């Protein structure tokens, strides 16, 4: 449900959520996933916006 996630975080940004809070939330989700799902989610986020999610390049491995 990547599209729902993108919409959720987009709305959070629009409402003033700090980017570091969003990143911390995403990081906690990613760390709970197995390696294959983590790679899939990172690739999806980087494809959506490589600038905002550039910090994920380190987790892509």
Query: What gap in Å lies between CA 46 and CA 40, rounded to an integer?
Result: 10
Q: In the predicted model, is pLDDT for residue 2 greater than 90?
A: no
Query: What are the sequence ranges of the domains in the chain?
Result: 2-59
Burial 17-56 (b: 16+ CB within 10 A, else e): eeeeebeeebeeebeeeeeeebeebbeebbeeeeeebeeb
Q: Mind listing the pLDDT tens digit for each residue in 20-35? A: 999 999 999 999 999 9
Q: What is this structure's pTM?
A: 0.82
């Amino acid at each position: 449900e990547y599209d729902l996630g993108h919409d959720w975080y987009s709305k959070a940004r629009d409402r003033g959520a700090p980017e570091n809070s969003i990143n911390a939330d995403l990081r906690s989700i990613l760390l709970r996933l197995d390696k294959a799902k983590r790679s899939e989610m990172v690739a999806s986020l980087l494809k959506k916006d490589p600038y905002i999610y550039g910090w994920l390049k380190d987790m892509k491995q």
